[in-house]
Structure 1
Amino acid sequence: MKLKMVGLGKMGLNLALNMKEHGVDVEGFDVNEEARKKAESENIKTYASLEDVASKDEKNVIWVMLPAGKITNSVLLQLVELCKANDIVIDGGNSDHRDSLKTAHLMEEKGIYFFDIGTSGGVYGARHGASFMCGGDPDVFKNELQKMLESIATTNGCLYTGKTGSGHYLKMIHNAMLYGYMQTLGEGFELLEKSEFDYDLQNVADSLSKSSVIRGWLLELAADAFKKDPDLSKIKGVVGASKTTGWTIESACELGVPIPVISTSLMMRLRSKQDDSFSAKVIASLRDEVGGHKAQSK
């Protein structure tokens, strides 16, 4: 299978390397020359322009892995004009599912198959096995994409979610769940840190990650963070927030579904810009470990 990756940043390049390792004939494009050179150093052929990516002579499978919003939407609109019937275009970023529905409509008019694929697992997952949430045409997914996606996914990590928009909607909810879980971890570790007991937080996180009801990857990452900086003294308790959880709150209001934990977790991230709590430091360090969102240093 031949695939062209548009966006060779930390996620796009690692996905491309993962694909290459699993037999995909992967090529790439990035507006940044240094990003192209880095890909070429890994023996990935690159193109100098988006026009060159969309071949007129062969079927295109193009994966867009760019920051959500204006940049992604602009590239997708260009691909609507550049691609032809039966080409496949994938948006693997964190786009608003409402934007994905608009994009799909434009591509459908030209006979282009559009897939919105939510991608989870961070930079590590992109390189070694991610989780994919795939919305789009079921037959094209089964016949042309499923085998490739399963090869680069973690075990049981490739899920067909249904019609267009469903992949990015699920990824949005996934991100909102992550906010809530990170918030509870941050609050719990702050209680441990401020208690009268002398806990080794690295050992606590490591043990709970392996043996408890709340075991999981985030606790493993918390253990890694405490190993690097036991009291998180090098980190500012400032936690960034993407747009996806705000979109989730909008959806909850439209559907009449109360989501107090998720809503509060977003408010606490906004509050973190005004104070410097230990719980915010834990969450900031987890964002760094999960997705390479660099925590602010003191």
Structure 2
Amino acid sequence: MDIGLVGLGKMGGNMRSRLREAGHTVVGYDRNPDLADADSLASMVEQLPSPKVVWVMVPAGDPTRETVAALGELLGEGDLVVDGGNSKWTDDQANAAMLADKGVGFVDCGVSGGVWGLQNGYALMCGGSDEDVAKVQPALDALKPAEGGFVHAGRKPGAGHFAKMVHNGIEYAMMQSYAEGWELLEKVDLVEDVPAVFDSWRSGTVIRSWLLDLLVAAIEDDTHLDQLRGYADDSGEGRWTVEAAIDNAVPMNVIAASLFARFTSRQDDSPAMKAIAAMRNQFGGHAVHTEAPVGGDANPDVRGG
């Protein structure tokens, strides 16, 4: 299929490569002309056959809202916009309604996989009508892992991003558990090889996971995580998950506690938060905060996880 892709950063650029490797034609636009295939949104849209499909991979909030609004002026009846960023589901509902007035379809798609998605594929959680999802299905099939990893979460706008939001809330809690366990093993003068203990858990145990793999990779490179500050950013999804739990009277003790732990990390140099920061950097290439004289993160990016 032919598809436009707006936003060619760490995620978007890799997604373009994976789509092209699957034989699809991708016309990419980015504000950085060194990354772009088209020199404007309008030029990108002009190069696409109808019905046109444009996938948006820009930061959530105003950048996404402004991009979708601009596409609404450029696209026409039967075309489709896919928001693959980390937008809040309420934004999806507003964007879908705005585009529907112009006859343009809308699919919200939560994407997980970080910088490893190019190689392993991306987990995709979509919201939108059956007809709209079908228009982008060839791209979804190319982006997802070889087996599984895709769900049409619901037909109402926002279903995909709501599912991805809860996914990220669970991720917060899992990372916090691993991090606290790592801190305790480090603290007590008893276990001689903490990285080896974590590595042994990767096979045959009930707590094995990709996050555990990533933590092992991080502590093998920096055993005591001395190169990191105990500071962990949050990208918003954890907050939205807790807000939704409050709105719906759903007890969410562990996820809420893991979110608040990240806030605490901005007050103290927490050993556990060094592990959180290490895992975020491993799966998403997120900026880490280092001590002088290294100089801190040169290009902070707090999107995702």
Instruction: Please indicate the TM-score interval, normalised by the length of the shorter structure.
Output: over 0.9
CA-based RMSD:
1.3
Which residue type is aligned with residue 27 of structure 2?
E
Deviation for aligned residue 1:126: 4.2
Aligned partner (choices 214, 226, 231) of residue 233 of structure 1: 226
Structure 2 matches for 1:1-298, cutoff 5 A? 1-36=1-36, 46-55=37-46, 58-142=50-134, 144-154=135-145, 155-163=147-155, 164-298=157-291
Asked if the contact 2:107–2:132 (Cα under 8 Å) also holds between the matched residues in 1, the reply is no
Please state which structure has a larger fraction of its residues in helix: 1
CA distance in 1, matches of 2:275, 2:93: 36
Check 1:214–1:57 CA distance in 2 against 1; reply closer, same or farther (3 A cut): closer
CA distance in 2, matches of 1:202, 1:121: 24
CA distance in 1, matches of 2:208, 2:53: 38
Deviation for aligned residue 1:52: 1.4
CA distance in 1, matches of 2:182, 2:249: 33
Asked if the contact 1:88–1:113 (Cα under 8 Å) also holds between the matched residues in 2, the reply is yes
| TM-score normalised according to structure 2 size | 0.91
- The count of residues paired between Structure 1 and Structure 2 equals 288
SS in 1 for 2:86: coil
Which residue type is aligned with residue 33 of structure 1?
P
User: What is residue 39 of structure 1 aligned with on the other side?
Assistant: none
Q: Sequence identity, in percent? A: 39
Asked if the contact 1:15–1:127 (Cα under 8 Å) also holds between the matched residues in 2, the reply is no
CA distance in 1, matches of 2:240, 2:215: 27
1:191-219 CA deviation, whole Å, 9 max, x = no partner? Answer: 11111213422222222122210011001
Asked if the contact 2:175–2:279 (Cα under 8 Å) also holds between the matched residues in 1, the reply is yes
- Decide which moves more: 214-223 or 147-156: 147-156
CA distance in 1, matches of 2:191, 2:270: 19
Asked if the contact 1:138–1:162 (Cα under 8 Å) also holds between the matched residues in 2, the reply is no
CA distance in 1, matches of 2:120, 2:178: 25
CA distance in 2, matches of 1:181, 1:221: 12
Deviation for aligned residue 1:71: 0.6
- Decide which moves more: 192-201 or 100-109: 192-201
| TM-score normalised according to structure 1 size | 0.93
CA distance in 1, matches of 2:129, 2:88: 19
Deviation for aligned residue 1:125: 1.4
Please identify runs of 4+ aligned residues in structure 1 that moved more than 4 A. none
Asked if the contact 1:59–1:86 (Cα under 8 Å) also holds between the matched residues in 2, the reply is yes
What are the ranges of 5 or more consecutive residues in structure 2 without an aligned counterpart?
A: 292-305
Check 1:224–1:57 CA distance in 2 against 1; reply closer, same or farther (3 A cut): closer
1:257-294 CA deviation, whole Å, 9 max, x = no partner? Answer: 11111111111101101111211100010010011112
SS in 1 for 2:149: strand
User: What is residue 299 of structure 2 aligned with on the other side?
Assistant: none
